[in-house]
Structure 1
Amino acid sequence: MRNTLVSNAAPRKGKISWNSFLLFVILFFWGYSIPTPFDSETRAASDVGDPLFRPLLLFILGTVFLLIVFRLSLLLQGAKKAALWLLLGAWALLSTGWSVSPGDTWIAAINMLAVILVTSYLATVLDYQKTSDVVCVALIGLCVVSILMGLFQPQYGTMTSSKFAGLLRGIYSHKNILAANVLVLLTWTLAAAGSGYLKGRLVPFAISLGFFTIAWAGSSTAIAATAIAVSLVVAIKFALKARLSFSAMILIISFLVTVGAITLPAALEVILSLFGKDATFSGRDVIWVSYLDLGAQRPGIGYGFNAISKIGVFDSRLFTVDGRAASAHNAFIQMYVSIGAPATIFFILIILSTILRGIGKIKERCCDVYFLIVFPTIFSVYSFMEGSGGFYFSTGLILLIICHTGSACRTRDSIDKRRDPRGTNVKT
């Protein structure tokens, strides 16, 4: 069934929508650790303790409260679409009861539930067109502010440790968190540009700025993921124009996956070498084995959501990487250790179903396949090699994609017709 929703919250020309502003705040400021000039030595020691994190969390929670009071029907409409995500969030909250760090688990679980509610609400009142506009502006803003900090305030905007000295971290406490958030916004912008939701001179500027920021941050995983994102956008554009049958499409995808599995490691090594990086695991294999062994002791329930920093006390091997209890450097393993195998498998199935739904829509020549395929794929690639930096942020945008994409097929022609000169957003 095709449902039509007209948002009365759309702005008049020249005015800023509250919903767009709310989305911009989440996109621009979200991150586990936003640094502050007043505590440059210890700001990376505790994610939850960062001075700007708690006010931001209170802002999100306050927004949920206001939505309950003034926009309850729309909030419930979005929550209905996000039922599976809310179920996952409820399990994370329930893990407080057996967590090795109840305080960290409680804060992170409430945080996750709040982000799910807010993003599902935004998906109800904003369409792909408006969301993509805000994402593009947020990408430019994040990159510009971070680059300016790196140039004019290097003691705050760049890494100071000897291992990563000079690499850009911008408004975040670590280069990988900056790279993760820029990658998220850049991937969305690439998908929106390929599908036709984004047009104009700002688009190539935003994409170029995102590439530059990721390169300066020096995250090998983000650089490789960016190359994969561009390749996926090009491949999808070809598939949409080729008008292939479903069987032919499956054969081609199988062939490309096989060839990619053989050639991708060498290709990525060449790409990374251009940026002075290498395609090694950097000790990740050691830490993965340690965390998998630890997770096997509590495979069903885990050690508590976001309690990863306290888990190290249970296994001395986790202190062998850089002399401290390091991140799992794999969001899926981290989720398995935190909330158990069933919840992790449940989350992976949501991601896979989204990608498969996108592949199925290629035959219909739907532009939404860019979002359904590219974004979850890049999220999975990045999450396989990195930890939780920007994790809630990324899952929130995946949720936004799922809620945005209904049963209706949006072609390039239908997207162009969706621009209403009166400034009213019509969502199908």
Structure 2
Amino acid sequence: MKKQFFLDSLAFIFMTILSTTYLDLGSWYNRNLIISFIYIYFLFRILFDIFVRKVSFTSSKIICSILLLSVVSSLWSETFRYSLLTSLLFLALPTFIIIYIANIYSFNKVMSLTNYAAGIMVVLSIVFIFFFPEYGIESGIHEGAWKGIFASKNNMALSISFLSISTLYLFVNSKNRTFKTFYAIQILIQLFLIFKTTSTTGIVVLIFLIACYIFSTFFRRIKNIYIRLSLLSFSGIFVFLLSYHLIINISDLVSRFGKDMTFTGRDAIWEACIILIKQSPFLGYGFGGVYKENTYTKEFIDSYINWELIGGAHNGYLDLLLNLGIFGFILVTFAAIILVVRNFKLLSLDNQLKNYIIYIYMIFILIYNFQESAFLKENYMLWNYFVYFYILIKVEKIKRKI
């Protein structure tokens, strides 16, 4: 049993690493092939538990509906075979693995494994930055910015920001002074790497996440319901006024960070994608095939923006609409609302830190997808963690009969 637990943990750690990093090391490194072996291992584990150990698992109709739509969407995709294989092997299969993990692993265990994965990624990034700078440091327009083992500096900054939430949670939750010191050092290294990416988006998101973490830690200590409501009302008004101020002065704010209102050319991509969405609003163009070569969608976007597209709209919401249309967008939105509501019910019962952490993760996912295509995406960590939190909350809801 201990050996099985060790192998499960190791497989999950490397699954997290591979679903976060997209480093191109040449023809000898095949990310999809490596992650496929991990999927095969978990598939045998799941089948063994179901048919031999007769273990039953909690699933979700809405998550399965999203997966079904993704698979069926291959029927109207220009790249039928690619869309079908991608949706089955690199979306549905890892999603079922995450559902399995949510049934057997506690929140604390997953945070611990996530932190191990974060530590490995940080160490490997430092190695690549100093010993293999041709891979670990950006060239061209972003020359000198650190990207480590990630695809770009933005990807590194936002991924480490996301993973650092687990480190912060373990730091606050740990009772062992030695572990606390270790987590504190790890947090400082993560902060240093994020700032060395020079990613404005990553740094701003990190500051916002830290603010949310401080607020949630302080808020959960307040027992008086009236003080809580007053603080929530004040915070809501403050966020509204701050958002209004930022929107009004968005041009000045963006220019202070050395950017412009084109968001490094993203506005042209978004405009092209919106035109495509209007042409096929309800069903989209099929999962995973929008940016494949020699397709109408790929050629349209390339000709519209007149520069090489790297495989995404740089906006998760637009990509979701492009892939699965309004129907898919509604399903995903509905799943997110259910998660938020169920988590609030559990939070109101025992006021646990983990429920606040889940909200922080959800806020991150919400913000991240305004700048990057990183939600309903094959082999990607944000979708995996979203499914994990959704099933975890559902399992707890069933256990408590809420």
TM-score bracket, shorter-length normalisation: 0.7 to 0.9
For residue 274 of structure 2, what is the aligned residue in structure 1? 292
State whether structure 2 residue 383 is matched by structure 1 residue 395: yes
For residue 135 of structure 2, what is the aligned residue in structure 1? 156
Preserved CA contact (<8 Å) 1:82 1:116: no
Q: Following the alignment from structure 1 to structure 2, what is the Cα–Cα distance between the partners of residues 167 and 225? A: 18
Cα deviation 1:355-404 (Å, max 9, x = unaligned): 34444555442222223210011011001111238943111012222233
Superposed displacement of residue 322, structure 1: 6.2
Please, which of 96, 99, 110 is the counterpart of residue 77 of structure 2?
99
Cα deviation 1:37-76 (Å, max 9, x = unaligned): x45xxxxxxxxxx942231242143124312432226897
Superposed displacement of residue 328, structure 1: 0.9
Superposed displacement of residue 407, structure 1: 7.4
Superposed displacement of residue 147, structure 1: 1.6
Superposed displacement of residue 309, structure 1: 1.2
Query: Greater helix share, 1 or 2?
Result: 2
Matched position secondary structure for 1:385: coil
Q: Which runs of 5+ in 2 are unaligned?
A: 398-402
Q: Following the alignment from structure 1 to structure 2, what is the Cα–Cα distance between the partners of residues 197 and 377? A: 27
Please, which of 66, 69, 77 is the counterpart of residue 44 of structure 2?
66
TM-score (norm: length of structure 2): 0.83
Preserved CA contact (<8 Å) 1:179 1:219: yes
State whether structure 2 residue 318 is matched by structure 1 residue 328: no
Cα deviation 1:172-193 (Å, max 9, x = unaligned): 3333333343233123333454
Decide whether aligned partners of structure 1 residues 263 and 213 sit closer, same or farther in structure 2, where only a CA change above 3 A counts.
farther
Matched position secondary structure for 2:220: helix
Q: Which runs of 5+ in 1 are unaligned?
A: 1-8, 40-49, 410-428
One-letter amino acid of the structure 1 residue matched with residue 24 of structure 2: P
Decide whether aligned partners of structure 1 residues 212 and 333 sit closer, same or farther in structure 2, where only a CA change above 3 A counts.
same
Q: Following the alignment from structure 1 to structure 2, what is the Cα–Cα distance between the partners of residues 118 and 247? A: 39
For residue 29 of structure 1, what is the aligned residue in structure 2? 18
Q: Following the alignment from structure 2 to structure 1, what is the Cα–Cα distance between the partners of residues 322 and 274? A: 7
Q: Following the alignment from structure 2 to structure 1, what is the Cα–Cα distance between the partners of residues 148 and 360? A: 26
For residue 175 of structure 1, what is the aligned residue in structure 2? 153
Matched position secondary structure for 1:145: helix
CA-atom RMSD in angstroms: 3.3
Cα deviation 1:290-334 (Å, max 9, x = unaligned): 211211111111111122313665664544546124531101110
For residue 326 of structure 2, what is the aligned residue in structure 1? 341
Preserved CA contact (<8 Å) 2:148 2:156: yes
For residue 400 of structure 2, what is the aligned residue in structure 1? none
Q: Following the alignment from structure 2 to structure 1, what is the Cα–Cα distance between the partners of residues 360 and 144? A: 31
TM-score (norm: length of structure 1): 0.78
Decide whether aligned partners of structure 1 residues 65 and 353 sit closer, same or farther in structure 2, where only a CA change above 3 A counts.
closer
Matches within 5 A, 1:65-144: 65-72=43-50, 77-78=56-57, 80-110=58-88, 111-144=90-123
Please, which of 388, 392, 396 is the counterpart of residue 404 of structure 1?
392
Preserved CA contact (<8 Å) 1:34 1:172: yes
Q: Following the alignment from structure 2 to structure 1, what is the Cα–Cα distance between the partners of residues 158 and 56? A: 30
Decide whether aligned partners of structure 1 residues 107 and 264 sit closer, same or farther in structure 2, where only a CA change above 3 A counts.
farther
**What's the % identity of the aligned pairs?**
16
